[in-house]
Amino acid sequence: MAATPDIFALIPAAGSGSRMGSEIPKQYQTVAGKPLVAHAIKALCAHSRVRLVFVVLAPGDAQFSRHDWSAYQGRMETLYCGGATRAASVYNGLVAMADVVEPDDWVMVHDAARPCLDAALIDRLCSEIADDSVGGLLAVPVADTLKRSDDHQRVTETIAREKIWQAQTPQMFRYCLLLEALRSAKAGSVTDEASAIERMGLAPRLVMGSPRNLKVTFPEDGLVAENIIKTYTYGN
């Protein structure tokens, strides 16, 4: 009988986060008393289904080592091989993981800027994707009315929101499949792993996420995330 595939996590954390308007990269901005990336690391390292968490950092990153990560010894490894884009960072991380991961193992890629991930969402993703031939991602159906604009911020059309979902992370795919997808797409403009899989003609499964699993992109998002963390005790 074949061994059950392991689940590994990968956090691309090599970006600059320019939209946050700070000289400090977004992943190191403080939210609820910790660097943003620390919340993502904690959630994944604490989960029993995740064998090991890899954090992909920019070469020469001097911020990460300034924080105490001793609580995650044996559960987390750092890879200083981040690229110019998210796709490049994930691809480089996958290559660097090659000696540890088997081709059929799962890789769960999670944004460093999503600090409100909880164990229930990880459980749901793992359970619903376990037997899927492609893999999938957390996502939520779009509730608001969507508008397309022209170059002058004038509405050109209203977009039907039926069957439209907002992608979240983690996104979970087999190691060999994700590596192949990003190898062919890493020079392109894909902004998440599911997009690279879609370019192979495959259809990732959508797994219900949560509005609380928000991505911190602008400064005001950090305040919302902090309130969520304090309310739902993620950071305790």
Q: What average pLDDT does the structure give for the chain?
A: 92
Q: Which residue shows structure tokens 């699993």?
A: 213
Rounded to whole angstroms, what are the CA distances from 190 to 48, 87, 200, 231?
A: 30, 7, 12, 34
pLDDT for 5: 94
Q: Structural domains in the chain?
A: 7-131+169-204+215-231 (3.90.550.10)
Average pLDDT for 193-204:
96
Check whether 75 has a pLDDT greater than 80.
Answer: yes
Check whether 175 has a pLDDT greater than 70.
Answer: yes
Q: pLDDT band for 134, please (50, 70, 90 cuts).
A: very high
Rounded to the nearest 10 degrees, the angle between the axes of helix 36-45 and helix 119-129 is: 60
Q: Name the 3-class secondary structure at 42.
A: helix
Average pLDDT for 185-195:
82
